A and B are shown apart, each in its own frame.
Chain A
Amino acid sequence: MSDDEQGHKADSTAASAMTELASVPRRAFLQTGAALAGAALVAAPAREAEAQPAARDPARMPLMTAEAEAAPPADVQVIGGDERCGSDFMVDVIKSLDFEYICANPGSSFRGLHESIINYGGNRAPELITCCHEESSVAMAHGYFKAAGKPLAVMAHGTVGLQHAAMAIYNAWCDRVPVYLILGNHSDAALRRAAEWYHGVQDAAHMVRDYTKWDDTPWSLTHFAESAVRGYRVAMTPPMAPVVLVLDGHLQEEPISKSSGLSVPRLTIPSAPQGDSGAVDETARLLVEAEQPVIVTDRLARTPAGMQLLIELAESLQASVIDQGSRMNFPSRHPLNQSERAGTAIAEADVILALEVTDFWATVNALRDQLHRSVRRIAKPSAKLISITAGDLYIRANYQDFRRMQEVDLAIAADGEATLPSLIEAVKRHTTRARSRDFAARGKRLAERRRISAENARSAAAYAWDASPVSTARLCAEIWNQIRDEDWSLVSSYYSDGGGWPRRLWDFDRPYRWLGHAGGGGIGYGAPAAVGAALANRGHGRFSVAIQTDGDLMYAPGVLWTAAHHQIPLLSVMNNNRAYHMEVMHVQRMCNARNRGIERARIGSELTDPNIDYAKLAQSMGIFAEGPITDPADLGPALRRAIAVVKRGEPALIDVVTQVR
């Protein structure tokens, strides 16, 4: 059921009458926006006033007058042959931005745009994706961007829809992912139907302004066109983040002349900011002179080129790379990948370069989460710390996603990926033959350590191999065995991350193999982000797989229906530990600290009694599903059957009862 069922029941005839009375001058107003704040325009220079005669038209009175309200209902009308609607023009603009899809849970405040998309726009580019929750819409857009490299648009009510969407917007904000939000709202109180009072708001974007990069509420179609294109530019310029456009309902619905002469501004994405040349050169010098340089990376690779650039930098130096995993930054099996021994590598380092690392402090320090919290520095006191991040270019108050401040020796406020070419060039310039020989020797040592780490991981995975519930290592090994010959993409593995096993056992060798985490730690990201990413991967013929946690799926399982309805191929394998297990651990920690015993620690965090049957849940929404699987020997055959379904272009789900992590 949509949020505005009540609104559909109540239709205002008075509004129709008033629209009729004032339609012509208002159309001119909506097209040009010239009469915004009419009183101010009285004082405008004469030439400007002459250019916009509608501003002085006495008919341009406020729409809601006593006379208008008393007028009898006008005849029911449709738009004329020489007319179209404001939302048709909006679709022209939206199409110019090359959106493939637009996600929405339907709402009356954007019914005009909704209709224009499916009829005027032909429901193609963008195609409307039906969602069962606004949080799903935004999280789908979040996952989609990280697989497609471009935003997906979302429509929602400016009030109740945005309130549903807020958590997912916060995740995208923290993950520096652009989401293009279009909110419907009825600004003019005189035109609101009954439900539109619940759905009306003075400043719709206010609620999410702390965690969006920019917003605007256009008052005319010209204003809309500029803000729509500007918003796209803002969202896509690093540091990327969600933007919000609030579209007045009447602006969408009011007819305009087909010959209105409205134009669509040309989109030009600004180039990403590169680091200062002197600072980049100093960074290169420090890295070349270092004996144990370590490159730490988190949200670096924002395009497919990012991984290749990082490989080139690391190989130029034969330096350790620690991939913290918010993006697919570095191949998991590259000899220089030291992520499995990150703590040791940091402790040994004499120079640490942080590329788009969100939490540099926690990279070089450790916080002990006990009754009396304590901190110790992991990195050597003498280690030189360098950061390159677009995070230094934009920071907001209130929400604390910027993390604890880490003192550094050199801070470069710039986009990491955009800075890599000049940094690589500078490193090569500083590297002598003697240093090259040193680098080669270092590279051999690191390769051997990487080999040992991989061997240790395989050895560790063998423990509890036949246990029930299924170990997360077995789960991930079985999945890998089935998908390794596909052009696969792990679209989500949140929140338990499959026990970390995919990155330890799988060969992540391409930019789309892994898409990173939720960003803000908000549970409920995994399932919709996986569907959104699978939607993007569908166009590339990639095989999408998600390791789906149970608690996450239960936030808004309706996204499974969206996957089935739109035939989005996705293999979801449940990491079903029947609990919000991280919270079990937190409560357990409190029980221990207070010395009260932990027998009750699972109260409030377990998802048992009754156990949830995720296979039936998925089947009820038209998805092929099997489970619950408790015997690991049953897992391989079930995966094979599900993969056959996914390769036919449909989603499938396998419910596996697993160990906790």
Chain B
Amino acid sequence: MPGALNRHKLILMLSLSLGIAARAWPQAAAQDVVVAGLTAAGCAACHGSDGRGTAAGPAITGATLSAAAFVAAVRSPRGAMPAFGPEAVSDETLGELHTELGRLSAPSFPAGRVDVGAALYESTGCYSCHSNQGQGGTQGPRIGPNPIPLTRFGWYLRHPSGQMPPYTAGVLPDQAVADIHAFLQARLPPADGISLLAP
């Protein structure tokens, strides 16, 4: 784990590595800032030095999370990601990273089709663990409606943690991933006030 990182250190490291004056920071390309920042903060080991993901962690480029949610995800992550406290990376630095990552494009997926996704959801076995409407069960969590963002969804299918089996692009192309995501996104929220479920 690197030592505490703040913006000053980040700029300094980036300047040294790029051979530019620190005061030239505002003009530095977002990509370069990200490379230096993610490497220094220890994020690159899993998310890649360009933030576009590896087998160990999803892409974090693009404005997929709010700044607050981004910080929260670093401080109290879910899944296999270790927590990074303020002693490792400051809120200020995380804010900068969030800004710069947001300037980069998120991984792109084709537009999803709900009806095709419905058929794929069954034929590719998603229903086995997550139940027919994505509501979850004993073998898998609820994944619809309001699934996680498509980029993270797609990455997780390729590189799942826990018991979920992996789906490579060979058996589930990006188009199919987008279709299934669209199907999950279209699931209806539950009705309120179901009398049989009263306490």
Question: Quick check: is B197 within 8 A (CB to CB) of the other chain?
Answer: yes
Known: A471-B131, A585-B129, A659-B132. A592 touches B167 (CB 8 A): yes
Q: Which of A480, A500, A585, A592 has the most CB of B within 10 A?
A: A592
Contact A499 B165 (CB under 8 A): no
Known: A471-B131, A661-B131. A460 touches B136 (CB 8 A): yes
Q: How far is the CA of A455 from the CA of B197 in the complex (A)?
A: 10
Q: How far is the CA of A460 from the CA of B191 in the complex (A)?
A: 11
**Chain B nearest Cβ from A556, distance in angstroms:** 26
Which one of A234-242, A526-534, A596-604 contacts B? A596-604
Question: Quick check: is A478 within 8 A (CB to CB) of the other chain?
Answer: yes
Question: Quick check: is B133 within 8 A (CB to CB) of the other chain?
Answer: yes
Question: Quick check: is B125 within 8 A (CB to CB) of the other chain?
Answer: yes
Contact B191 A601 (CB under 8 A): no
Q: How far is the CA of A481 from the CA of B191 in the complex (A)?
A: 18
Q: How far is the CA of A8 from the CA of B189 in the complex (A)?
A: 66
B196 contacts which of A460, A481, A596, A597 (Cβ < 8 Å)? A481
Question: Quick check: is A477 within 8 A (CB to CB) of the other chain?
Answer: yes
**Chain A nearest Cβ from B77, distance in angstroms:** 15
A660 contacts which of B127, B163, B190 (Cβ < 8 Å)? B127
Which one of B16-24, B62-70, B107-115, B137-145 contacts A? B137-145
Question: Quick check: is A32 within 8 A (CB to CB) of the other chain?
Answer: no
Q: Mark A582-611 against chain B: 1 for CB-CB distance below 8 A, else 0.
A: 001100110111011111010000000000
Query: With a CB–CB cut-off of 8 A, which chain B residues contact A598?
Result: 123-125, 171
Contact A585 B171 (CB under 8 A): no
Contact B131 A477 (CB under 8 A): no
Query: With a CB–CB cut-off of 8 A, which chain B residues contact A461?
Result: 197
Query: With a CB–CB cut-off of 8 A, which chain A residues contact B139?
Result: 585, 661
Residues facing A in B52-104 (CB within 8 A) are none
Q: How far is the CA of A660 from the CA of B134 in the complex (A)?
A: 12
Contact B199 A454 (CB under 8 A): yes
Known: A462-B190, A462-B191, A463-B133. A588 touches B165 (CB 8 A): yes
Q: How far is the CA of A368 from the CA of B79 in the complex (A)?
A: 14
Contact A595 B171 (CB under 8 A): yes
**Chain A nearest Cβ from B133, distance in angstroms:** 4
Query: With a CB–CB cut-off of 8 A, which chain A residues contact B129?
Result: 585, 661
The number of inter-chain residue pairs (CB within 8 angstroms) is 103
**Chain B nearest Cβ from A5, distance in angstroms:** 44
Question: Quick check: is B105 within 8 A (CB to CB) of the other chain?
Answer: no
Known: A454-B199, A592-B171, A595-B170. A464 touches B135 (CB 8 A): yes
Q: Mark A441-480 against chain B: 1 for CB-CB distance below 8 A, else 0.
A: 0000000000000110011111111110101110001101
Contact B165 A592 (CB under 8 A): yes
Question: Quick check: is A369 within 8 A (CB to CB) of the other chain?
Answer: yes
**Chain A nearest Cβ from B156, distance in angstroms:** 13
Residues facing A in B8-38 (CB within 8 A) are none
Contact A467 B132 (CB under 8 A): yes
- CB nearest to A481 among chain B residues: B196
Contact B142 A585 (CB under 8 A): no
Contact B138 A499 (CB under 8 A): yes
State the majority secondary structure of interface residues on A.
Answer: helix
**Chain B nearest Cβ from A50, distance in angstroms:** 71
Question: Quick check: is B149 within 8 A (CB to CB) of the other chain?
Answer: no
Question: Quick check: is A370 within 8 A (CB to CB) of the other chain?
Answer: yes
A497 contacts which of B138, B163, B191, B199 (Cβ < 8 Å)? B138
Query: With a CB–CB cut-off of 8 A, which chain A residues contact B167?
Result: 592
Q: How far is the CA of A599 from the CA of B135 in the complex (A)?
A: 22
B138 contacts which of A465, A591, A661 (Cβ < 8 Å)? A661
Q: Mark B158-199 against chain A: 1 for CB-CB distance below 8 A, else 0.
A: 000011011110110000000000000001011100101101
Residues facing B in A121-175 (CB within 8 A) are none
Q: Which of A368, A462, A473 has the most CB of B within 10 A?
A: A462
Contact A465 B125 (CB under 8 A): no
Question: Quick check: is A233 within 8 A (CB to CB) of the other chain?
Answer: no
Contact A464 B132 (CB under 8 A): yes
Known: A585-B129, A659-B131. A462 touches B138 (CB 8 A): no
- CB nearest to B129 among chain A residues: A585
Contact B124 A459 (CB under 8 A): no
Question: Quick check: is B39 within 8 A (CB to CB) of the other chain?
Answer: no
- CB nearest to A496 among chain B residues: B138
Question: Quick check: is A581 within 8 A (CB to CB) of the other chain?
Answer: yes
Q: How far is the CA of A598 from the CA of B190 in the complex (A)?
A: 30
Q: How far is the CA of A480 from the CA of B199 in the complex (A)?
A: 12
Known: A462-B190, A463-B190. A469 touches B132 (CB 8 A): yes
Q: Mark A166-201 against chain B: 1 for CB-CB distance below 8 A, else 0.
A: 000000000000000000000000000000000000
Contact A460 B170 (CB under 8 A): no
Q: How far is the CA of A595 from the CA of B165 in the complex (A)?
A: 10
- CB nearest to B131 among chain A residues: A659
B190 contacts which of A454, A459, A480, A497 (Cβ < 8 Å)? A459
Query: With a CB–CB cut-off of 8 A, which chain A residues contact B171?
Result: 591-592, 595-598
Q: How far is the CA of A584 from the CA of B127 in the complex (A)?
A: 11
Query: With a CB–CB cut-off of 8 A, which chain A residues contact B137?
Result: 472, 499-500, 659-661
Known: A462-B197, A465-B191. A585 touches B128 (CB 8 A): yes
Query: With a CB–CB cut-off of 8 A, which chain A residues contact B187?
Result: 463-464
Which are the 6 A-B pairs with shortest beta-carbon distances?
A592-B165, A462-B190, A463-B135, A464-B133, A661-B137, A597-B171
Can you list 11 contacts pairing A with B, beta carbon distance less than 8 Å?
A458-B199, A464-B133, A471-B133, A480-B196, A499-B137, A588-B165, A591-B171, A593-B166, A595-B171, A661-B138, A661-B139
Chain A residues packing against B (C-beta within 8 Å): 368-370, 454-455, 458-467, 469, 471-473, 477-478, 480-481, 497, 499-500, 505, 581, 584-585, 588-589, 591-593, 595-599, 601, 659-661
